[in-house]
Amino acid sequence: MKSVVKTGLATLLACASFSAFAGDFPAPLQAKVDKYKQKLVEWAANPAIVQAVKEANANGAQGGMTNAKWQDVADSDPAVKSFTTSKAGGLLKKWEEDTGINKLVLRDEKGNLVAASTKPLLFNNAVRPVFVNGIKGQVWADNKVTPDPTTQIKGVQASAPVLDGKKVIGVIHVGITE
């Protein structure tokens, strides 16, 4: 009986130390992250969002845009405005009025920008965890609070896949404020 108790206690301690290093959030922040992960799934299923990603996948990157070129484009440039004023961009801006988040971005299957509530730092984020996990079909959230690369507001990055039927065609991602 003592060995069962010792084994159970050892397992409990191992789990507790794992969760201490897993980046667990305080309960209110975890509830907020879970809420927005669920909202991302709903938003990703919006027909206008799915259509925008399908069109972007068919057309490829706008004008051969790269991250280096994107850095030189002013926020007021018509190219930037096209991402925030399109039908999908308008939805993202509307949804971003929710004070629990600080940006929403929509990406195609290659990580290229499709629409956004504000100009993101990167035109293509295909190597970033927020995209990599979403494009694998996972609803994902980071396990730590960090400054958002675009807004510099501390929060948690989260993403969800955009699906056409059962096929992953893009990613929607958000910065959840702390």
| CA 134 vs CA 34, 37, 54: distances in Å | 15, 11, 16
d(CA 123, CA 108): 11
Cβ atoms of 101 and 36 closer than 8 Å: yes
Q: Please say if the pLDDT value at position 141 is more than 70.
A: yes
d(CA 101, CA 13): 35
Q: Which residues contact 39 (CB under 8 A, 6 or more apart)?
A: 95
Tokens 């070129």 map to which residue?
A: 69
pTM: 0.85
Gyration radius from the chain CA atoms: 19
Say whether 75 sits in a helix, a strand or coil.
coil
How does pLDDT run across 14-46, given as a tens digit for each residue? 333 333 334 579 999 999 999 999 999 999 999
Q: Convert the pLDDT of each residue in 101-125 to its tens digit.
A: 999 999 999 999 999 999 999 999 9
Beta-carbon contacts of residue 105 (< 8 Å; ≥ 6 apart): 92, 113, 115, 116, 117, 120, 172, 173, 174
CATH hierarchy code of domain 26-177: 3.30.450.20
CA nearest neighbour of 10 among 21, 18, 23, 24: 18
- Give per-residue pLDDT as tens, 47-57: 999 999 999 99
Rounded to whole angstroms, how far apart are CA atoms 108 and 131? 10
